[in-house]
Every structure is written in C-alpha cells, then in structure tokens.
C-alpha cells in the first residue's frame, strides 16, 4: 500500500516514525505579514507557504493550512495549488485542512467534498457542537481523518467546553472526548483538538482516548509550555507518537525579509529539538 492509499492514522504513524518529529507547521498566511519581496505578488500567498513547506518538510509530521487565511483573500486557488504541491512533493506527510466546519448533514456532505475531493486534504478539523449527524458525512470518506474540536486553546474555550453536563457532571469537553473515542468513531479515523495552553486537560483527554491522535495547537505564539504539553499528551510506553503539535505564526513570521524560509526553518528546527528533548525526559 503506498502512502496515498494509507489511512490518515497510518500516514501519521509512518510520519512520526520516519520523520522523528511531532511538529506540525501551520499555514496561516496573513497578507499584512508576508515578507516584503512577496507582498502584492499575484501568487504571493502560495509562494510564501510553498517556500516554508520546502524549508521545513524534513522536520514535520504534518502540515496544516488554515482555510480562512486563503478564503479571506480570494486565494482558494492558491490553497489548492499549495496542497497539490505538498501531496506531489511530500506524499508521506499528511495534510490537515483546518476549516473547523460544522453544519447539518446535507450541508456537511458538501463541506466533506470540499475538504477531501476539492482540496485533497488527508484530514479536516470539525466542530462537534451540532452533534453526530453533522460529523457522520466526513466519516463516510474512507481513510480520511476527522479531527474534532474538544478542548480548544483559546481563553474563551472554557465558556462552554468547561460546563458540567448532566447527569454525570463531567465537563462537556470530556463528554466530547468519550463520544469521539467510542460511539462516534465508526471509521476509526477520528482525532481530537486539545490546546497546548491547557496541559492538565490534555492529560485528562489522553486518559480517556487511549492512543487516538491529538492535534495540539498553542505552542509558539500562544505561549503553551512544550514540556508540559508533551508530558500530558504522551502515550504510556510509546514516546514520540500520538501528538501533532502545531505552530504557525512563530515559524511563518520568523523573518519578514528575503531570508524568511531559512528563518522559518531555524525556528522549526529548534521547536522540533525542544519537542524531542521534552519527549526524552
Ligand atoms: O484547530 C486548530 O487548528 C486550532 C484549534 C485551537 O484550539 N486553537 C488553535 O489555535 N487552532 C489553530 O491553530 C493555529 C495556531 O496558530 P499559532 O498560534 O500562530 O501557532 C491557528 O491556525 C488556529 O486556527
């Protein structure tokens, strides 16, 4: 089976092993922060992301383009081109389309087609708060990853995700973790988002979901603690797997000059080393 026909979870297992990395580089291309040589260029967003991908591809277990940054700039064609570039050049690295979709089933059918057929992503982020029928259309795409928001990295994540549910009294995010690990996981390809800004909650989610992959944004620009994150998300006895630890702005905007790709590589390299050191502790 080649890497294109592997399931998302198989792709991740291979990437963790062959790349020796749990780092995910996120593509959040803010037009105001593009390096000067690329500002105003018709395909500046694509070129920016492509050059950073090419400079970091040996350091990552996944890439994660964020949909809104492309759509807000009418740059969907550049997103398609970027994902095609990633899949052609780095077929062993899974691509997660971060679009956090969530809607009734008939509409979700089309969001799933958008992510998997139009863009060719290996996985997509989804918002579970409209319930299982809104997740199910993605699960029908055999082998594709469905990464469900659980305990998000932002401060307001506590507003709802921390509310206690009746009758058990457990917080909503732990209820989501249980559903995702058990009755919702018909395809076996679900993962969960838990923020690096809340390591205690990462540990609680890990205890519920076994070896399920966790997408963990929040290191870098959001200030999440790498040591605490890696410790909390570790799978007992299996160091170096199980986590997709994302950093976007800290890597993307390491330099605003012509050396932006090399500067991004330097930050990605030191972040991967920090993750390795934390894994070895
Ligand atoms: O699903 C996500 O990727 C996500 C979930 C979450 O809880 N918090 C979060 O920051 N993200 C995304 O992760 C990226 C974080 O970017 P940086 O803070 O620049 O590293 C952004 O693309 C966010 O949209």
pLDDT, average across residues 254-277: 98
Asked whether residue 3 is assigned to any structural domain, the reply reads: no
Ligand 1 pocket check: which of 25, 95, 246 to mutate, most ligand atoms within 8 Å of Cβ?
Answer: 246
Instruction: Report d(CA 77, CA 2) in Å as an integer.
Output: 27
| 81 belongs to a structural domain | yes
8 A C-beta contact, residue 149 and residue 120: no
**Domain-embedded: residue 256:** yes
d(CA 244, CA 154): 18
Mean pLDDT of 208-232: 98
Atom of ligand 1 nearest to the CA of 152: 7
pTM: 0.97
Ligand 1 atom nearest 157 alpha carbon: 7
- pLDDT range class, residue 3, cuts 50, 70, 90: very low
Average pLDDT of the chain? Answer: 96
**Which pair of tokens denotes residue 200?**
């205690």
Report the percentage of the chain scoring pLDDT > 70: 98
Inside any domain, residue 199:
yes
Mutate to test the pocket of ligand 1, among 26, 102, 150 (most ligand atoms within 8 A of CB): 26
Would you say the CB of residue 28 lies under 6 angstroms from ligand 1? yes
Other CB atoms within a 10 A radius of the CB of residue 45 amount to 24
Q: Which residues are catalytic?
A: 100
pLDDT band at 274 (very low <50, low <70, confident <90, very high): very high
98 Cβ closer than 6 Å to some ligand 1 atom: yes
Q: Which pLDDT band holds residue 167 (cuts at 50, 70, 90)? A: confident
| pLDDT score of 44 more than 50 | yes
ipTM: 0.99
As a residue count, the chain comes to: 281
Pairing of strands 190-194, 145-151: parallel
From the CA of 167, how far away is ligand 1's center (Å)? Answer: 32
Residues 173/201, Cβ–Cβ less than 8 Å: yes
Q: Are β-strands 96-101 and 62-65 bridged in parallel, bridged antiparallel, or unpaired?
A: unpaired
Q: What is the pLDDT of residues 5-20, one digit of tens each?
A: 699 999 999 999 999 9
Measure 171 CA to ligand 1 centroid, in angstroms.
22
- If you write DSSP's letter for every residue of 90-116 in order, what string do you get? -TTS-BEEEEEE---HHHHHHHHHIII
- pLDDT at residue 1, rounded to an integer: 36
Contacts 24+ apart (CB under 8 A), 89-93: 89/53, 89/54, 89/57, 90/53, 90/57, 90/63, 91/2, 91/3, 91/4, 92/3, 92/11, 92/14, 92/15, 92/18, 92/19, 93/11, 93/15, 93/19, 93/57, 93/60, 93/61, 93/62, 93/63
Taking 60 as the threshold, does the pLDDT of residue 49 lie above it? yes
What is the arithmetic mean of pLDDT over 246-255? 98
User: How far apart (Å, rounded) are the C-alpha atoms in residues 18 and 62?
Assistant: 12
CATH of the domain at 199: 3.20.20.70
Range of the domain at 247: 8-280
The domain tally of the chain equals 1
Residue 161, domain member (yes or no): yes
Tens of pLDDT, residues 178-201: 999 999 999 999 999 999 999 999
The per-residue pLDDT for 2 is 41
Ligand 1 in contact with 251 (CB < 6 A)?
Answer: no
In a domain, 1, yes or no: no
Please give the average per-residue pLDDT across 82-94, as a whole number: 98
Residue 40 lies in a domain: yes
In the three-class reduction of DSSP (H, G, I as helix; E, B as strand; rest coil), residue 23 is classed as strand
| Residue 68 confidence (pLDDT) above 60 | yes
Q: What are phi and psi of 151, to 5 degrees?
A: -130, 95
Cβ burial, residue 215 (10 Å; 0-12/13-18/19+): buried
Instruction: For ligand 1, say whether the CB of 161 is within 6 Å of any of its atoms.
Output: no
pLDDT of 4 reads: 52
Give the model confidence (pLDDT) of 18-27 as tens digits.
999 999 999 9
Structural domain contains residue 255: yes
- DSSP states of 245-277 as a string? EEE-HHHHTS-SSTTHHHHHHHHHHHHHHHHHH
Residue-wise pLDDT tens digits, 145-154: 999 999 999 9
What is the structure's pLDDT at 219? Answer: 98
């Amino acid at each position: 089976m080649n890497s294109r026909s592997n399931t998302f979870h198989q792709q991740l297992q291979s990437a963790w092993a062959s790349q020796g990395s749990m780092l995910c580089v996120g593509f959040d291309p803010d037009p105001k922060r593009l390096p000067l040589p690329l500002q105003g260029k018709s395909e500046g967003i694509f070129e920016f992301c492509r050059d950073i991908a090419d400079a970091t591809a040996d350091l990552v277990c996944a890439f994660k383009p964020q949909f809104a940054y492309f759509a807000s700039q009418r740059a969907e064609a550049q997103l398609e081109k970027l994902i095609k570039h990633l899949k052609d050049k780095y077929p062993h690295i899974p691509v997660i389309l971060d679009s956090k979709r969530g809607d009734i089933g008939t509409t979700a059918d089309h969001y799933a087609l958008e992510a998997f057929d139009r863009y060719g992503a290996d996985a997509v982020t989804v918002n579970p708060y409209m319930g299982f029928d809104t997740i199910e259309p993605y699960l029908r795409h055999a082998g594709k990853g469905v990464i469900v928001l659980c305990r998000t990295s932002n401060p307001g994540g506590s507003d709802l995700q921390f509310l206690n549910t009746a009758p058990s009294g457990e917080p909503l995010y732990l209820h989501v973790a249980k559903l995702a690990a058990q009755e919702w996981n018909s395809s076996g390809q679900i993962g969960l988002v838990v923020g690096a800004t809340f390591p205690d909650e990462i540990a609680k989610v890990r205890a519920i979901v076994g070896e399920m992959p966790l997408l963990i944004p929040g290191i870098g620009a959001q200030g999440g603690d790498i040591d605490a994150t890696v410790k909390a998300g570790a799978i007992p006895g299996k160091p170096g797997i199980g986590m997709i630890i994302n950093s976007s702005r800290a890597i993307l905007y390491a330099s605003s000059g012509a050396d932006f790709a090399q500067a991004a590589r330097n930050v990605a390299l030191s972040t991967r080393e920090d993750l390795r050191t934390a894994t070895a502790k």
